Amino acid sequence: MGSSWRRHGGTVSPSPRPFQEKRQPLSDLWPPGKWDTQGLHETGRDQMMDQMMTDQIWKTAAPDPAQTASLCRELDILPPTAAVMVNRGLKDAAAARSFFNTALSRLRPPFAMKDLMPAARRAADAVRRREKILIFGDFDVDGVTATVVLTEFLRTCGADVDFFIPHRIRDGYDFQASHVTGRALPSGVDLIITVDCGSTRREAVRTALDSGMDVIITDHHTVSDPPDAVPVVNPRQGDCAAGFEYLAGVGVAFCLAAAIRSELRDDGWFSPGREPNLKSLCDLVALGTIADLVPLVRDNRIFCAAGMAIMNRDGQAGPADAGRPGVAALIRSAGLTPPLISEDVAFRLAPRINACGRIAEARTAADLLLTRNPAEAERLAGELGRLNRVRQETESRLLETILDRLERRPEARSAPAIVLHQTDWHEGVLGIVAARLTNLFFRPAVLISVRNGIGRGSCRSIPGVDIHKALTACAGHLVKFGGHPAAAGLTIRPEAISAFSLAFQEQIAGQSASDAVKIVETDLDLSFRWISDRLVTELERLEPFGEGNPAPCFSARSVDVCHSRVFSGRHRKMELRQRKGGPPVEAMFFNAPAAALSTDHFDRLAFRLSRRRFNGRESIQAIISDFSI
């Protein structure tokens, strides 16, 4: 293959004898309900959105031609696949083979993680003594799956364990003293283990200790001053040099389970054949890891590959044969047909789990993942689907309200960051709407809902802007805050919102966000001649995709629209053809700006390739993300 292709100006061009597939017939293969269908229809709104789309810079990677050619020869892969691999640092065959090797045996031993072994010894003692253990979780997918990992594992060990996940509005976020006095103490709990939370909760820890309970903190959020009286298992604390800072909360929980198993095994706790199989938990680790947008590198990639294999096995099994009936039922409820890809987890399964914590009780999602009763799993999966539809409707209404406000206030949308507040906005959808705003306007967004005399907000950022750093500088205006560089939450008194907004805008401007322009990054300019089943199959080997291993994104120039259909107001299905030749390509543009709904020619497109299976049919589609005309 190495001698059969040539590269001109960043564009991979095929040889005169390209690999071509038989063209598949056009058909509407996208299942309904995949994407929200609430559109934006007003002319003023369209103009606002189109203006935002014009403020972008295109950057196409330039993979080394010699390295690309070498991979083509040694791995017998197509040039576009080799170029994508070089762009991800896989510059020779040895690195590529290591990347493809996702055997669980390659997981790094976690035992050097700070406080992990003291925490494991205390938890193992609680198992042996039949002490009451309470797993305290968070209400997002990472928190729910972490809760289930430790609950299921400890039950298998014979522990007396229960779990509690707070209600977002009624109980509040993170581990609090009121949770200790109102929940743990009346239940006679001896040991509290937090998952995906707790790293800054000194008051709650002190309340528990004063009440005669022990506490273990497991978390992965940025923290500078964790409680010092209890084990804190958080690879992102400053004095933890174990190198696991990329783990999600569920990954940290899995490491604690591994350490507890090691302690109990050394003590001869398990009878023959009764030792817990940690591999069976990898589907949960994959769900939480993909949903939490942590880098899918090193151990995370291994966890996710193993977990996706388990989910695919359960999704193909009958309801009575699935290892985890809840995941199998969730897959069916979402209308998915295995084999699943990471996109299915991120956009079809994770939102259903998240909807419980956003709209109702996250415990419902945990019960789904824990149950071994197929009928109960079907019922709970149906409830998650219903809650997700409520979430979508609530989210769409709030987004429309905010876009109406921004349309009337151009100064608000042109500021370094979008900072808005309102009484009684639904707190459960603030984060996802803030994320939609960052995508639309390419600047950080903070949305604050004021209820019962206190404001609670969700913050989302853009690449290159550390929102946690900005909040740290504004801490004097806040009651509390926490999170990551890309996403955070805050609590604030209503009278401090104006001063906070000004201070926060200054901090974001100092990080150069005031001149932020969206950068459209693509792997290479791709001739349509290369689009084939073979190419998509090769690219699928790079799964799972996510942070740190993004799905390959290609660009194409001078593209005509041969046929198209607009549906649900904002989605356009097209047949595209490049003017320089090549076969036609099916394409979808979801939530397309008005300018992209009517044009018959694109000067440039950014897209990824996707294999869609629906009603027994299969086709390859280009999913468009950006354009210029």
Give the span between the Cα atoms of 421 and 437, in whole angstroms: 14
The whole-angstrom separation of Cα 384 and Cα 286 is: 19
Helix (H) / strand (E) element for 152: namely helix 141-156
- CATH number for the region 417-515 comes to 3.10.310.30
Alpha carbons 579 and 109: distance in angstroms, whole number: 54
Structure tokens at 219: 């978390």
pLDDT attached to residue 231: 97
Domain spans, the chain: 2-64+520-628, 116-385, 417-515
Q: What is the rounded CA–CA span in Å between residue 330 and residue 336?
A: 9
Task: Kindly provide the residue ranges of all beta strands, DSSP E only, lying in 341-405, ordered along the sequence.
Answer: none
- Quick one: which of 477, 444, 609 has its CA closest to 542? 609
Return the CATH number of the domain spanning residue range 2-64+520-628: 2.40.50
Q: What is the pLDDT of residues 38-89, one digit of tens each?
A: 333 344 555 555 555 556 889 999 999 999 999 999 999 999 999 999 999 9
Enter the CATH code of domain 116-385.
3.90.1640.30
Q: Decide if 327 contacts 285 (C-beta within 8 A).
A: no
3-state secondary structure of 218: strand
SS3 196: coil
pLDDT tens-place string over residues 369-416: 999 999 999 999 999 999 999 999 999 999 999 999 999 888 888 889
Provide the pLDDT for residue 46. Answer: 58
Let me know: does 222 contact 237? Beta carbons within 8 Å: no
- pLDDT at residue 25, as a whole number: 28
pLDDT at 318: 83
Low-confidence residues of the chain: pLDDT under 50: 1-43, 513-514
10 Å CB burial of residue 517 (0-12, 13-18, 19+) is exposed
- DSSP-derived secondary structure letter, 546: B
Alpha-carbon gap, residue 390 to 356, rounded angstroms:
10
The single residue listed with the structure tokens 């509690």 is 164
Q: What are the residues facing 525 on neighbouring strands?
A: 11, 555
As to burial, measured by CB atoms within 10 angstroms (0-12 exposed, 13-18 middle, 19+ buried), residue 17 is: exposed
Contact of 81 with 535, CB cutoff 8 Å: yes
